[in-house]
């Protein structure tokens, strides 16, 4: 029987969708082992977020209000203390989860299975499958320590649906940590966008080095993105060149996405890019070079110059 | 400034699709693939070198970079350490260990023992290894040392003679700036290779490094010659007195399922829209 604590991820006082993917994994673990799950709402606005998180069937929602910007040093001791009563701690393998949970694991002497794609509970025994080698291998792993720490790949766990009801909430004490005094949070530039989140959009349109400039992203890619109500992504080459912000990078070091439709425009399809999108349901490539490696995963391939084609595609989509 | 950089060997990541699984399904075999320096460690080494040199004086060294690799004591691991030494690091340590006996917990315990001995001002690590893709060892190390960690650093500016660092780190939703008092652990993002990613107080602040597209700098011929004479200390795991109990056990490996279906080369925009709308019904 495994009792699970979900570590919520808050952004501006609201739980991010990533939290609900972690809830889904926590439910699988709890149901498969006859245990239960709770949620820890932690950060600025934890109280309000706890109310929002009370409708997902958790035994209770713990809350720890911590003001100011996030650093893992500021949160880890509180999460570890709250986690002492649980067998498994779960968060999403977002930048936040990958930053915070290993620190918590070290405090608890726990092994970490990171970025898992599946939970197994055969005979009540827990193991996890996780993509490795940029998605070219899947390993199944057991955690041998008393406590288990797990981060889950957002694209592999549907966000939990609200189940009604209201889990009771409980305050947990905020713990101090000497390491936290070594880091001063100076600020964050949060990118505001009206578009869907790259992590859970149904359609993603990504551009690559071939776009050649930030202006071309604005004038060629964005109209298609908006005509499809899509999220915008990019290759590392496009992010490195400053055509778009780094958080739009899709791939081994960027975001992993698995939308219903992924359109790769002027992207060659390097192994590290494929790592972030080959789980997409339908993949379209628009590329001048029909030999580009993106063909290995593309369902539809339009061999063409993107500057001629994409505006025409945008117009055609608008007419649908 | 003295910086410790961990470097790991990995099966050629550009050919990871050629990996196989052993017949009993319990191991990954990388036969035929060359061992390469983990590219993420290569980026970190680039950051560490920039922090410890005067780039306007032909990269004259003004600090020390110590490389540590944990793995089999063979020609491949040694070659990878030499490669780092040829790029500019001063010294190497090879901790002999069977890769099957390592996980992020064991690696961080080994690195902690070395940090305790060497007292670096900074540990700069890859945020992940291109084989395990775990993103765990750096943060665990920091916690075990009681140090702060800055993950996914894209920009590092030294302040107060290097006692504090102003670091920009990549988040899912933007970029955060933190001021960290060392010693600390830093892991790096792709953007650490940008021409202006590091200011160290010695190299003029407006210095622009050459654009790097993929990994860190190449070794110069002179660097390669000098590396041959640089020391690599070899030690056994037992010499370090650390707990080597693993907390993870891989029971099974499998190749990803192949994508079903062929690639359809569409005629033109109208054909593509028709297929997406009427066949796949995704728009
Ligand atoms: C450790 C490591 C991690 C990495 N992580 C990532 C990652 O997370 N994400 C990622 O994307 N990359 C990553 N990379 C980089 C990756 O290896 C590639 O370098 C990168 O993806 C290439 O980007 P691109 O496809 O935009 O550019 P290119 O490879 O240069 O491809 C450009 C493509 O555009 C096509 N083209 C050019 N002009 C036109 C036109 N007018 N119309 C139509 N098509 C045109 C070309 O035929 C070509 O196929 C990583 C690399 C390393 C070493």
Closest of B149, B96, B115 to residue B3, by C-alpha = B115
Tell whether the model's pLDDT for residue B188 goes beyond 90: yes
Give the helix/strand (H/E) hosting B233.
strand B232-236
- Helices assigned H by DSSP within B64-175: 75-87, 104-118, 137-145
In a domain, A222, yes or no: yes
Mark whether A115 and A168 lie in a shared domain.
Answer: yes
Predicted confidence band at B259 (pLDDT cuts at 50, 70, 90)?
confident
Contacts of A93 in chain B (CB under 8 A): 135
Tell whether the model's pLDDT for residue A315 goes beyond 90: yes
What is the three-class DSSP state of B224?
helix
Mark whether A137 and A213 lie in a shared domain.
Answer: no
Predicted confidence band at A67 (pLDDT cuts at 50, 70, 90)?
very high
Mark whether A175 and A307 lie in a shared domain.
Answer: no
In a domain, A120, yes or no: yes
Mark whether A144 and A291 lie in a shared domain.
Answer: no
Q: Which residues touch B140 (CB under 8 Å, ≥6 apart)? A: A102, A103, A105, A106, A112, B104, B105, B108
Q: What is the structure's pLDDT at A192?
A: 85
Tell whether the model's pLDDT for residue B258 goes beyond 90: no
Domain end, chosen from A182, A213, A240, is at A182
Tell me what the pLDDT averaged over chain A comes to. 97
Size of interface A-B (CB pairs under 8 A): 265
Domain end, chosen from A130, A150, A182, is at A182
Mutate to test the interface with B, among A182, A234, A263, A283 (most CBs of B within 10 A): A182
Mark whether A32 and A99 lie in a shared domain.
Answer: yes
Tell whether the model's pLDDT for residue A92 goes beyond 90: yes
Mutate to test the interface with B, among A132, A268, A277 (most CBs of B within 10 A): A132
Ligand 1 in reach of A208 Cβ (< 6 A): yes
- Backbone dihedral angles phi then psi of residue A239, each to the nearest 5 degrees: -70, -45
In a domain, A193, yes or no: no
Ligand 1 in reach of A135 Cβ (< 6 A): no
Mark whether A13 and A153 lie in a shared domain.
Answer: yes
Mutate to test the interface with A, among B137, B263, B267, B274 (most CBs of A within 10 A): B263
Tell whether B279 lies on the interface with A, counting CB pairs under 8 A: no
Mark whether A207 and A291 lie in a shared domain.
Answer: yes
pLDDT digits 0-9 by tens, B233-252 = 999 998 999 999 999 999 99
Mark whether A107 and A135 lie in a shared domain.
Answer: yes
Chain B nearest CA to A246, separation (Å): 7
In a domain, A191, yes or no: no
CA of A36: how far to CAs of A82, A84, A114, A289, in Å? 15, 15, 21, 53
Tell whether the model's pLDDT for residue A77 goes beyond 90: yes
Mutate to test the interface with B, among A270, A300, A309, A317 (most CBs of B within 10 A): A300
DSSP B275: I
In a domain, A192, yes or no: no
As a whole-number percent, the residues of chain B with pLDDT over 90 amount to 95
CA of A139: how far to CAs of A110, A115, A130, B99, in Å? 19, 11, 5, 15
Contacts of B171 in chain A (CB under 8 A): 95-96, 188, 247
Query: What is the domain-level CATH number for residue A309?
Result: 3.40.50.1220
Ligand 1 in reach of A17 Cβ (< 6 A): no
In a domain, A307, yes or no: yes
Calculate mean pLDDT across residues A46-60: 98
Interface of B with A in 133-152 (CB under 8 A): 133-136, 138-140, 142-144, 146-152
Burial A253-282 (b: 16+ CB within 10 A, else e): bbbbbbbebbbbbbbbbbbbbbbbbbbbeb
> Which of B28, B171, B280 faces A137 most closely, judged by CB atoms?
B28
Total count of residues recorded for chain B = 283
Which ligand 1 atom is the nearest neighbour of the CA of A289?
A: 47
Calculate mean pLDDT across residues A214-229: 98
Tell whether the model's pLDDT for residue B253 goes beyond 90: yes
Q: Say yes or no for a CB contact (<8 Å) between B277 and A105.
A: no
CATH annotation of B2-256: 3.40.50.620
Alpha-carbon distance of B138 to B72, in angstroms, equals 21
Give the helix/strand (H/E) hosting B50.
helix B39-51
Interface of A with B in 7-26 (CB under 8 A): 11, 18
Tell me what the pLDDT averaged over chain B comes to. 97
Please give the residue of chain B at the shortest CA–CA distance from A77: B143
The pTM score is 0.98
Burial B4-20 (b: 16+ CB within 10 A, else e): bbbbbbbbebbebbebe
Alpha-carbon distance of B179 to B159, in angstroms, equals 9
Query: What is the domain-level CATH number for residue A39?
Result: 3.40.50.620
Mark whether A133 and A221 lie in a shared domain.
Answer: no
Ligand 1 in reach of B39 Cβ (< 6 A): yes
Domain ranges of chain B: 2-256
> Which of B136, B179, B251 faces A140 most closely, judged by CB atoms?
B251
CA of B1: how far to CAs of A2, B43, B66, B156, B196, in Å? 46, 18, 11, 14, 19
In a domain, A296, yes or no: yes
- Backbone dihedral angles phi then psi of residue B69, each to the nearest 5 degrees: -125, 140
Predicted confidence band at B270 (pLDDT cuts at 50, 70, 90)?
very high
Interface of B with A in 163-182 (CB under 8 A): 166, 170-182
Mark whether A158 and A209 lie in a shared domain.
Answer: no
> Which of B108, B131, B134 faces A114 most closely, judged by CB atoms?
B134
pLDDT digits 0-9 by tens, B56-97 = 999 999 999 999 999 999 999 999 999 999 999 999 999 999
Counted domains in chain A: 2
Contacts of A301 in chain B (CB under 8 A): 263-266
Predicted confidence band at A150 (pLDDT cuts at 50, 70, 90)?
very high
Domain end, chosen from A157, A182, A207, is at A182
Q: What is the structure's pLDDT at B203?
A: 98
Which ligand 1 atom is the nearest neighbour of the CA of A269?
A: 25
Tell whether B24 lies on the interface with A, counting CB pairs under 8 A: no
Q: What is the structure's pLDDT at B256?
A: 95
Mark whether A22 and A170 lie in a shared domain.
Answer: yes
Tell whether A299 lies on the interface with B, counting CB pairs under 8 A: yes
Calculate mean pLDDT across residues A228-242: 98
Burial B162-173 (b: 16+ CB within 10 A, else e): bebbbbbbbbbb
Calculate mean pLDDT across residues B137-159: 98
Protein residue whose Cα sits closest to atom 47 of ligand 1: A289
Q: Say yes or no for a CB contact (<8 Å) between A240 and B103.
A: no
Interface of A with B in 125-184 (CB under 8 A): 127, 131-145, 178-180, 182-184
Range of the domain at A281: 198-318
Q: What is the structure's pLDDT at B161?
A: 86
Q: Say yes or no for a CB contact (<8 Å) between B21 and A133.
A: no
Predicted confidence band at A190 (pLDDT cuts at 50, 70, 90)?
confident
B273 CA from centroid of ligand 1 (Å): 25
Q: Which residues touch B47 (CB under 8 Å, ≥6 apart)? A: B124, B153, B156, B186, B188, B192, B197, B198
Q: Say yes or no for a CB contact (<8 Å) between B16 and A94.
A: no
What is the three-class DSSP state of B149?
strand
> Which of B16, B140, B272 faces A300 most closely, judged by CB atoms?
B272
Mark whether A269 and A127 lie in a shared domain.
Answer: no
Tell whether the model's pLDDT for residue A191 goes beyond 90: no
């Amino acid at each position: 029987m495994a009792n699970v604590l979900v570590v919520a991820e808050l952004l501006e006082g609201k739980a991010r969708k990533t939290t609900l993917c972690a809830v889904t994994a926590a439910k699988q673990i709890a149901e498969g082992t006859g245990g239960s799950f709770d949620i820890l709402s932690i950060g600025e606005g934890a109280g309000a977020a706890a109310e929002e998180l009370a409708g997902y069937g958790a035994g209770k929602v713990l809350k720890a209000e911590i003001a100011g910007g996030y650093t893992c040093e500021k949160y880890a001791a509180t999460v570890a203390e709250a986690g002492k009563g649980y067998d498994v701690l779960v968060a999403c393998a977002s930048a936040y989860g990958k930053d915070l949970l290993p620190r918590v694991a070290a405090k608890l002497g726990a092994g970490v299975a990171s970025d898992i794609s599946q939970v197994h509970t055969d005979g009540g025994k827990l193991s996890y499958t996780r993509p490795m080698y940029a998605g070219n291998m899947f390993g199944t792993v057991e955690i041998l320590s008393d406590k288990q720490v797990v981060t889950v790949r957002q694209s592999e766990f549907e966000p939990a649906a609200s189940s009604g009801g209201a889990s009771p909430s409980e305050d947990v004490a905020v713990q101090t940590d000497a390491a936290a005094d070594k880091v001063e949070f100076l600020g964050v530039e949060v990118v505001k966008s009206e578009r869907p989140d790259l992590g859970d959009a149904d359609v993603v349109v990504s551009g690559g080095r071939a776009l050649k400039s930030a202006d071309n992203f604005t004038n060629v890619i964005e109209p298609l993105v908006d005509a499809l109500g899509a999220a915008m992504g990019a290759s590392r080459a496009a992010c490195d060149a400053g055509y778009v912000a780094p958080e739009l990078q899709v791939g081994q070091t960027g975001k992993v996405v698995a939308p219903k439709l992924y359109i790769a425009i002027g992207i060659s399809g390097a192994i590290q890019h494929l790592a972030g999108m080959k789980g997409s349901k339908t993949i379209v490539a628009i590329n001048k070079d029909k030999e580009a490696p993106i063909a290995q995963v593309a369902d539809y391939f339009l061999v063409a110059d993107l500057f001629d084609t994409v505006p025409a595609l945008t117009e055609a989509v608008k007419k649908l | 400034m003295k910086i410790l950089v961990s470097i790991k060997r990995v099966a050629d990541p550009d050919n990871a699709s050629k990996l196989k699984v052993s017949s009993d399904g319990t191991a990954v075999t990388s036969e035929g693939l060359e061992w390469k320096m983990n590219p993420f460690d290569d980026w970190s080494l680039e950051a560490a070198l920039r922090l410890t040199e005067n780039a306007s004086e032909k990269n004259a060294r003004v600090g020390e970079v110590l490389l540590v690799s944990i793995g089999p004591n063979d020609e491949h691991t040694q070659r990878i350490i030499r490669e780092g030494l040829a790029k500019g690091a001063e010294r190497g340590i090879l901790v002999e260990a069977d890769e099957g006996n390592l996980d992020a917990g064991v690696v961080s315990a080994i690195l902690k023992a070395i940090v305790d001995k060497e007292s670096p001002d900074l540990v700069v690590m890859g945020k992940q290894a291109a084989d395990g893709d775990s993103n765990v060892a750096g943060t665990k190390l920091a916690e075990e040392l009681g140090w702060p960690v800055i993950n996914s650093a894209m920009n590092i500016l030294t302040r107060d003679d290097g006692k504090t660092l102003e670091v920009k780190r990549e988040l899912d939703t933007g970029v955060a700036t933190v001021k960290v008092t060392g010693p600390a652990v830093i892991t790096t993002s792709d953007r650490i290779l940008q021409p202006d990613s590091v200011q160290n107080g010695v190299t003029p602040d407006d210095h622009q490094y050459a654009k790097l597209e993929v990994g860190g700098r190449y070794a110069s011929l002179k660097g390669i010659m000098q590396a041959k004479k640089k020391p690599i200390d070899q030690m056994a795991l037992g010499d370090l007195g650390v707990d080597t109990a693993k907390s993870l056990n891989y029971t099974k490996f499998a190749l990803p399922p192949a994508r079903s279906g062929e690639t359809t080369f569409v005629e033109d925009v109208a054909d593509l829209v028709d297929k997406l709308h009427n066949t796949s019904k995704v728009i």
